[in-house]
Amino acid sequence: MLEHLFGSKTRVKLLQLFFRYPERAFFVRELSRLSNTQLNSVRRELANLESCDIVVRSDGKQKNDSVGTQRSKFFRLNTGSLLFGELKALLIKTQVLEEQEFINQIKTKSGNVSFFLLTGLFTNVDSVGTDILLVGTIKEQTVARLIKEYEKNSGNSVRYTIMSDKEFEERREIGDVFLYAVLESRHVTIADKYNIG
C-alpha cells in the first residue's frame, strides 16, 4: 500500500527502518543490507528523504558511543521535521493493516485451524517463547512461507508454534508449563473451537 503512495518500495523500507529506530544513526551500507536493497537505490532515496528534511546526516555516534566512523556517511531520522508526526501515524496505521492481512492469510490458508492465538510480538510480551500458537491440521510449509513474507515486509522476527489437536489436548490435560504460560499471557485469540476464552 505504502509503495503505491510513495512510489518507491526502497523509500518505504527506509522509512520503516528509521521510524522503528528513531534514535539510531545508520550508515548507507547498513541500510542497504537491512532493507535488502541495492546500494545505489538506497543512496538515491536517502537523497530524496534528506531533501524533504525527513532524514539528516549524522556523525554516527549513538547515545553511549564516543566513536563515529569517519569514512562512512550516517543518516538518522529528523524527529524535528514538520512531517514526523504525520509519517509516524501513517506508518503505524499501515503496520496495523499489514498485521490484519497477515493474520487473515494465516487463518484462511494454513489448513483446518482449531485454535489460533497471538502473543509475544503482537501483544508486547517478551517472555512467552512464541508469538503465534496454531493448533489443528496445519499446512506447515504454507505457514512458514507466510511468516517468512511477513518477516521480510515488517522487519520483525516471528516465533511460532504448531500443534496437532491431539498434542494440544494432551498438553492441556497434563498442565504443560509452556502451553499454560502462553494461555495465561496477554494474548489475542483469533480462532477457538475449544472455547478456552
Give tens-digit pLDDT for 104-151: 999 999 999 999 999 998 888 777 889 999 999 999 999 999 999 998
54 and 127 co-located in one domain:
no
Domain boundary among the residues 82, 115, 150 is at 82
Per-residue pLDDT at 80: 92
CB 90 within 8 A of CB 6: no
53-57, 127-131, 175-179: which has the minimum mean pLDDT? 127-131
Is 92 contained in some domain?
no
| Chain position carrying cell 508526526 | 85
Q: What is the CATH number of the domain that holds 44?
A: 1.10.10.10
Is 40 contained in some domain?
yes
Is 7 contained in some domain?
yes
For residue 76, report the phi and psi dihedrals to the nearest 5 degrees: -140, 165
Contact residues for 105 (Cβ-Cβ < 8 A; gap 6+): 146
Q: Where in the sequence is the domain holding 141, given as residue range(s)?
A: 98-192
Q: Which residues pair with 162 in a beta bridge?
A: 134
Is 90 contained in some domain?
no
Q: What is the CATH number of the domain that holds 163?
A: 3.30.460
113 and 76 co-located in one domain:
no
Is 167 contained in some domain?
yes
